[in-house]
Structure 1
Amino acid sequence: MQSIAISNVLLVEDDLVFQKNFVRVFEHMAGDWKIQAFQDGASALEALAKPNLKFNLALIDIGLPDISGIDVIAAVRQRFAELPILVTTAFTAEETFLSAIRAGANGYLLKGGTDAALGHSIELVLQGQYPVSPALARHLFRLAGAPNAMALSNKLNLSQRELELLQLIAKGCSYASCADVMNISLSTVQTHIRNMYRKLEVCNQRQAITKAQSAGLLNI
């Protein structure tokens, strides 16, 4: 009797609920899947340093508790030149998306989709395609059709962390909640806020959100 080849999955996701969701999705997919999961970037990078590793797919969250998932993507791509890497995240900022693609990601999915949609995206990336969540794709197409907004976006020169923070604030999160989500101190949040106001040339949250929306930086 011929044995079934095992497909190995590298999963870097700090949320245990989402980890279980991924396990459930693979249970309903054809083949024999073995998932090696990590809840932080440092553990994943430590594992990548070991010899004789073999993976068929990587699923990586960007909002990790210790380091950016972008750094993990870059490390995985350096180790495995041809490995399909699928980003699963809550971050919708254009710069975050572009940073993930530049680091080596092959697809970008926003969390909150159905198991069926996630399974379909996994199948697509394994076939060599580049799946992107429809909501994010619409946002990017709007940006592509607005050259003036894109020029303003580049001129503002907000950092990735500042964009992530601005996205959370635009969704109604308090400074304390932003600190928890981004795993940074409240004082660091306040420093980012001051830097954003300076770059955007605004004085309050409402003005910052309005200007960022006009630059196509927010997807809310």
Structure 2
Amino acid sequence: MRVLVVDDHPLYREGLVGAIDTMPGKEVVGEAADGAEAVRRTAELAPDVVVMDLHMPELNGVDATRAITASHPDVAVLVLTMLEGDDSVFAAVRAGAKGYLLKGADRAEIGRALDAVAHGEVVFSSSIAQRVLAFFAGGRAAGATPFPELTDREREVLDLVARGLTNAEIARRLVVSDKTVRNHVSNVFAKLHVAGRAEAVARARDAGLGV
């Protein structure tokens, strides 16, 4: 099994590569530090499985997963991330991920998940499996709205920011003043604890907004 490891933290990526390389029948054929590089390396290396982090610079893991599964449907994407919220899980599944593990997973769990997704199966960490089943059985559970700490209008503004609109364009779309939009954007940044627009867009797209 040929594996591509994608993570923007060098030490974690190095440790993961070492762990996978010791697993029988598995070989790490490449690494990537962001989503854009992951898409390029997938095209170059033709791995069987891509182990994908979600919160990364350049191109987040959800968008990278979407691009990879669209262009290379035979490549399985296994998400391995610290993000355990419903928004991230469902966004990754919608993008085409075949598995979703949390970074607390041990070597044995990662090995089993790699085997599963490589054979066309779907696998989730036990802590989120029940939520995923509930989602597909009866729709999103109550309280699964993206970023519940935001007001409806702030969430709407964040969605438009994630779609690439400027503050002035958002103001025209919502028929409000530029100052009102600036205030909403500032509130969103504060509530999400992000430093700027690019980080807010990454968080929003991880949660399925702006797509």
For the criterion TM > 0.5, the same-fold answer is yes
State how far apart, in whole Å, the 2-side matches of 1:108 and 1:152 are: 17
Q: Note the 1:168-207 alignment, pairs <5 A.
A: 190-192=186-188
Q: Report the counterpart of residue 125 of structure 1 in structure 2.
A: 117
Which stretch has the larger CA shift, 99-108 or 136-145?
136-145
1:61 equivalent among 48, 53, 66: 53
Q: CA RMSD in A?
A: 3.5
Pairwise CA distance, 1:56: 1.1
Aligned twin of 2:62 = 70
Distance 1:136 1:48, change over 3 A: same
Identify unmatched segments of 5+ residues in structure 2: 160-182, 193-211
CA distance in 2, matches of 1:148, 1:22: 32
Identity %: 25
Task: Give 2:19's aligned residue.
Answer: 25
Superimposed CA distance per residue, residues 112-166 of structure 1 (whole angstroms, 9 cap, x where no aligned partner): 111111111111111221110011124445667998952773897658x89xxxx
- Structure 1 residue identity aligned to 2:32: F
Mapped partners of 1:86, 1:188: distance in 2: 35
In the alignment, the residues of structure 1 paired with residue 135 and residue 122 of structure 2 have an alpha-carbon distance, to the nearest angstrom, of 19
Paired residues for 1:1-220 under 5 Å: 7-31=1-25, 33-48=27-42, 53-140=45-132, 150=142, 153=145, 158=155, 190-192=186-188
**Counterparts of 2:20 and 2:66, CA distance in 1:** 25
5+ residue gaps, structure 1, are: 1-6, 163-186, 197-220
Matches of 1:58 and 1:120 in 2, distance apart?
A: 14
The number of aligned residues is 163
Report deviation, 1:24. Answer: 2.6
Q: SS where residue 31 of structure 2 aligns? A: strand
Could you tell me which amino acid in structure 2 is paired with residue 102 of structure 1?
Answer: R
User: What's the offset of the Cα at 1:75?
Assistant: 1.1
Superposed CA offset, 1:167-219 (max 9, x none) = xxxxxxxxxxxxxxxxxxxx9995425678xxxxxxxxxxxxxxxxxxxxxxx
Q: Normalized against structure 2, the TM-score is what?
A: 0.63
Normalised TM-score (structure 1): 0.61
